[in-house]
Amino acid sequence: MAPWQLFFQQSYVIDKRITPRFMSYERWDLIVGIGFVMFGAFQDAGAVAAGIANYVGALPAALFALALFDASIIGAAAVSLSTAYAIGDVLSYRHSLHRNVADAPQFYVIYAGVIAVG
């Protein structure tokens, strides 16, 4: 469990406008997400790709590498978004993806800035 995940989960539930009526769905969303993360966790991506290439072929290994690249982009966006949420909370800025850029400019500047730095 990383600290950014706590900020992200709390802020994203609010941003998605989840009400108590939908909490059971949100729990299942979280359980399924954790399951995918646990299933896909590994120590050495290079070794996994080499093993796939050796036993299955080059195309599946390339697809694995592409999926890993995609996951890293999604991860960077999630960490950047959680950072923007946290800074918005601390500095009392409007911070929501439901607001447009004109309504929450600091949030979007922080979000874009963290992505650019990353």
Tokens for 57, please give them.
């072929």
19 half-sphere exposure, CB direction, 13 A CA radius? 1
Strand ranges inside the chain, DSSP E: none
Convert the pLDDT of each residue in 24-67 to its tens digit.
887 888 788 777 777 766 678 888 888 899 999 999 999 988 98
What total number of domains does the chain contain?
1
- Please give the mean pLDDT across all residues of the chain: 84
Higher-pLDDT residue of 7 and 27 is: 27
Q: Is the dihedral of CA 74, 76, 78, 81 positive or negative?
A: negative
pLDDT category of residue 1 using cuts at 50, 70 and 90: low
pLDDT of amino acid 26: 79
The pair phi, psi for residue 8, each rounded to 5°, is: -65, -50
User: Considering the entire predicted model, what is its pTM?
Assistant: 0.61
pLDDT of amino acid 107: 93
Convert the pLDDT of each residue in 67-78 to its tens digit.
888 888 888 888
For residue 66, the enclosing domain spans: 3-117
Helix/strand/coil for 24: helix
Helices (H) and strands (E) counted in the chain, each on its own, are 5, 0
Amino acid at residue number 31: I
